[in-house]
Structure 1
Amino acid sequence: MSRKISDFRRTDDSENYEYFLEYGKVNISTQKPAVLLIGGSEGGTVGEDAATQWFLKQADRGDYLVLRCRGIGRQAQWVADNYSHSINSAAELSIDSREAANNPDVVEYIKNADALFFAGGDQNEYEDYWEGTATQDAINYLINHKKIPVAGTSAGMAILGDYYYAPSRQGLISSEILNDPFHTNTKDIYRSDFLQVPYLKHVITDTHLDRHNDRHPETRYGRIFGLIARIMVAENHKVYGIGLEEGAFVGIDEKGIGRVFGNGSDRGQDAYFLQTNGAFPEQIQPGSPLIWDNYGRAVKVYRISGTPEGSGLFDLNNWLTASGGSWEYWFTTDGYSGFRREEIRY
């Protein structure tokens, strides 16, 4: 049962938005800029609790707003149930059309937020409904002028990168992009005129890297590697990536220093900071396997395993200063079958 001081729900069916104030009253707060990236399958873990407490501390008992599509969810209720001492209010706003995204009431709800959480779902809907609207402007106002903390999980994390993958059809798998870098499922790679998040310039993010089950027969390590190859060739400059396993959380503070939260277990808690290493792919063309070897050094990667205390440090100002993890090289000599991840041993 939620500890609710006041509830307020407003729905505008004509413009497809829904707003629900789960807890508290909207007030004025002093917050710090920060970013929390969430791997996508975080529920009920000590890593989630630690990362959430870190994030809400940056909001300084402010007003917490969840943005999403497809109707109100349970994220604000969960925050109100478990962290009411750390917030002033918790609310959700579902924006499900471009008309709603330009509604003045919707824009005001967004601008009043002191902490912003992008829920999981379908990043293609976020792009279709919000990009190029007053909602986009309001979000960027919060991030770059009001300078509030912002978080995203799964699809919500995907849209925080300067580049993002927002499929309008079946999502891309590793073997598709590595065996054909121009596979039809790669057409939805975007350079963002969408969200401008500090320290994520020239960065593409990806989540669920380690997910492997009956519905997902391949992990996504090769996918983010392939996406970086495509972007590097298209943009002709250095490209970066942040990929998270499902139980990992990366907190980036106002100085651009990231640390990784997780459960401290042996698997599923790792964050990967990827950067191109100076050489373009040896082979990248439609219908042929990607070859990006560079003597086994195509992409340089720093890997940090998350802990409840927040482990390691990674400086996103220079992508060089790092501690608490290990460096790797990722490369492929022949598409999916030739993809390798190897730790650098000094």
Structure 2
Amino acid sequence: MKKLYFLLFPIVSYSQGYTSYFTGNTTNITTTTEFGVCLMGGATENDNAMTWLFQKANGGDIVVLRSTGSNGYNNYLYSGLGVTVNSVETLVITSAAGATNPYVLDKVSKAEMIWFAGGDQWNYVSYFKNNALEDLINYHVNVKSAPIGGTSAGMAILGGRYFSAQNGSVTSAQAMSNPYATNVTLAGYSGNTLPTTDFLNIPFLTNVITDTHYDNPDRRGRHATFMARFRQDYATEIYGIACNEYVAVCIGTDGRARVYGDYPNYQEFAYFIQPNCFWGVPGPYCVTGQPLTWNSIMVYKVPGTMNGDNYFDVSPSGWGYSPSPQISGGSWETWNIYNGVLNVVSGGAPSPICLLAVGENEINKFSASPNPFTNSIYLENAENAIVEIYDSLGKKVFFVMDHTSNAIDTSQFSNGLYFVKIQKEGNIETKKMIKK
């Protein structure tokens, strides 16, 4: 018989910056986990989405990380979903010292699932970044292949690019009127231009910036502004995922982002946002002190259903740039921002030129061989190109801004499926390759 230990009072370590609230079996267990990430819009959790995530923890130990509040999740997660788990522990962390306390690090290292509560994302960034807790969270996802998720501020930090809220929040009107206002604080790059994340590295979310509470208040304008800034400042790909308050987006190993909600009873949508990749479309006019202008932003608006039947492909071959994008149940919108004002038009889709750019039917501008490959990939016609290689989970494993050598060393790559993306002079190709 399991020994259950329910604490009526929290374990408090004020001097060390954390408080623990524990529910369940005090004897740790280890289970076989499966990767999954759940992005929640910021209001009451969607039970079906949480159940989806919990099943990937396989009955193990759940750790809730938050910087304010108390034990509001414990009973809900331990017994409210009808999914058996070994324990639920909420760790309220109020400083970097708390984040790196040996007790906290031990609990996170043993967790089969991590959940970030809402609050202030700057607390998470300032307490968790560049220390042992950040390392453990990234290990949890990328090495243990264990599930992770978050709501509101907890969702905001899961994108590889993120709004840090270091100087407080910002409205859509404020952001569009001056994309470089002091409270438009963005992060997510290590170094000046290299597209590697500087905080959390979640599969399929490396080049994604998220936003929450999308319907209350309207955050479409500020989210588009964040994306414009990344395009302007780093000249790189950037995508957006956003949720209305009661919506959840759940991404599994197949890269399909399933959308949970209660549509049509309520207007509950997720948004998958991408710049139109047709090079004839002007990029953002994004200048300090001037209103933003950026036209032809393509958005796939997906209603959330109770069973998560509708989805959008966020894998490297997704984002609508393949000849047959894996999408279901949504509709396209075109967002245009002119002089700091957002206008939404129903209809549209990524330009046909985008589709051809990565399609197998296009006359090849670049070549990558052999396929399958072993220890090297050889490129032709790719001199001075931007070259990126992603694994099957969307993790970037190779990047060079100005390719000069024909051969790419792949001896350290594991066997499996890879996507080689080549960009040069407005031409973009993505090639599927297998390492054996």
Aligned equivalents of 2:125, 2:228: Cα separation in 1: 23
1:231–1:135 CA distance, 2 compared to 1 (3 A): same
Equivalent residue number for residue 215 of structure 1: none
1:282–1:221 CA distance, 2 compared to 1 (3 A): closer
Aligned equivalents of 1:125, 1:141: Cα separation in 2: 21
Give the C-alpha shift of residue 329 in structure 1.
Answer: 1.4
Give identity over the alignment, percent: 34
Write the letter of the residue equivalent to 2:200. Answer: L
Residue 336 of structure 2 aligns to a residue whose secondary structure is strand
Equivalent residue number for residue 55 of structure 1: 53
Give the C-alpha shift of residue 70 in structure 1.
Answer: 2.5
Aligned equivalents of 2:42, 2:63: Cα separation in 1: 19
Give the C-alpha shift of residue 157 in structure 1.
Answer: 0.2
Instruction: State whether residues 270 and 305 of structure 1, in contact with CA within 8 Å, keep that contact through their aligned partners in structure 2.
Output: yes
Equivalent residue number for residue 116 of structure 1: 114
Q: What's the C-alpha RMSD, in Å, of the aligned pairs? A: 1.8
- After superposition, residues 36-185 of structure 1 pair within 5 angstroms as 36-43=38-45, 48-83=46-81, 85-185=83-183
Instruction: State whether residues 298 and 348 of structure 2, in contact with CA within 8 Å, keep that contact through their aligned partners in structure 1.
Output: no
User: Please, which moves more after superposition, 114-123 or 102-111?
Assistant: 102-111
Instruction: State whether residues 19 and 91 of structure 1, in contact with CA within 8 Å, keep that contact through their aligned partners in structure 2.
Output: yes
Aligned equivalents of 1:187, 1:253: Cα separation in 2: 30
Give the C-alpha shift of residue 100 in structure 1.
Answer: 1.9
Equivalent residue number for residue 319 of structure 1: 319
Aligned equivalents of 1:179, 1:280: Cα separation in 2: 19
Equivalent residue number for residue 236 of structure 2: 237
1:282–1:34 CA distance, 2 compared to 1 (3 A): closer
1:122–1:282 CA distance, 2 compared to 1 (3 A): closer
Aligned equivalents of 1:51, 1:99: Cα separation in 2: 33
Which structure's residues are more often helix, by fraction? 1
1:57–1:234 CA distance, 2 compared to 1 (3 A): same
Q: Residue deviations 1:297-344, cap 9 Å, x none? A: 2x11111100101131211112122111112211112212xx112222
Aligned equivalents of 1:69, 1:285: Cα separation in 2: 35
Bigger radius of gyration:
2
Give the C-alpha shift of residue 10 in structure 1.
Answer: 3.0
Give the C-alpha shift of residue 103 in structure 1.
Answer: 1.9
Equivalent residue number for residue 15 of structure 1: 16
Equivalent residue number for residue 216 of structure 1: none
Instruction: State whether residues 65 and 76 of structure 1, in contact with CA within 8 Å, keep that contact through their aligned partners in structure 2.
Output: no
User: Please, which moves more after superposition, 112-121 or 176-185?
Assistant: 176-185
Aligned equivalents of 1:172, 1:183: Cα separation in 2: 9
1:74–1:304 CA distance, 2 compared to 1 (3 A): same
Instruction: State whether residues 120 and 156 of structure 1, in contact with CA within 8 Å, keep that contact through their aligned partners in structure 2.
Output: yes
Write the letter of the residue equivalent to 2:68. Answer: R
Aligned equivalents of 2:232, 2:270: Cα separation in 1: 25
Equivalent residue number for residue 283 of structure 1: 285
TM-score, length of structure 1 as denominator length: 0.89
Counterpart pick for 1:204 among 197, 209, 217: 209
Instruction: State whether residues 119 and 154 of structure 1, in contact with CA within 8 Å, keep that contact through their aligned partners in structure 2.
Output: yes
Equivalent residue number for residue 246 of structure 2: 247
Aligned equivalents of 2:83, 2:168: Cα separation in 1: 41
Q: Residue deviations 1:274-302, cap 9 Å, x none? A: 11123453522122111112xxx2x1111
Aligned equivalents of 2:132, 2:92: Cα separation in 1: 15
TM-score, length of structure 2 as denominator length: 0.72
1:196–1:282 CA distance, 2 compared to 1 (3 A): closer
Instruction: State whether residues 247 and 268 of structure 1, in contact with CA within 8 Å, keep that contact through their aligned partners in structure 2.
Output: no
Give the C-alpha shift of residue 19 in structure 1.
Answer: 1.8
Aligned equivalents of 1:333, 1:161: Cα separation in 2: 27
Aligned equivalents of 1:235, 1:17: Cα separation in 2: 37
Aligned equivalents of 1:282, 1:147: Cα separation in 2: 37
Aligned equivalents of 1:265, 1:221: Cα separation in 2: 21
Instruction: State whether residues 212 and 243 of structure 2, in contact with CA within 8 Å, keep that contact through their aligned partners in structure 1.
Output: yes
Q: Residue deviations 1:208-255, cap 9 Å, x none? A: 01004xxxxxx1011111110011111101110101111110010122
Equivalent residue number for residue 406 of structure 2: none
Aligned equivalents of 2:266, 2:219: Cα separation in 1: 15
| Bigger relative contact order, structure 1 or 2 (CA pairs below 8 A, ≥6 apart) | 1
Instruction: State whether residues 246 and 268 of structure 1, in contact with CA within 8 Å, keep that contact through their aligned partners in structure 2.
Output: no
1:78–1:173 CA distance, 2 compared to 1 (3 A): same
Write the letter of the residue equivalent to 1:150. Answer: I
Write the letter of the residue equivalent to 1:233. Answer: Q
Aligned equivalents of 2:284, 2:121: Cα separation in 1: 31
Aligned equivalents of 1:103, 1:280: Cα separation in 2: 49
User: Please, which moves more after superposition, 300-309 or 283-292?
Assistant: 283-292
Q: Do structure 1's residue 221 and structure 2's residue 220 form an aligned pair?
A: yes
Aligned equivalents of 1:31, 1:233: Cα separation in 2: 39
Write the letter of the residue equivalent to 2:227. Answer: I
Q: Residue deviations 1:86-131, cap 9 Å, x none? A: 3121111122211122222211100111011000001000011110
Instruction: State whether residues 117 and 153 of structure 2, in contact with CA within 8 Å, keep that contact through their aligned partners in structure 1.
Output: yes
Give the C-alpha shift of residue 188 in structure 1.
Answer: 4.3
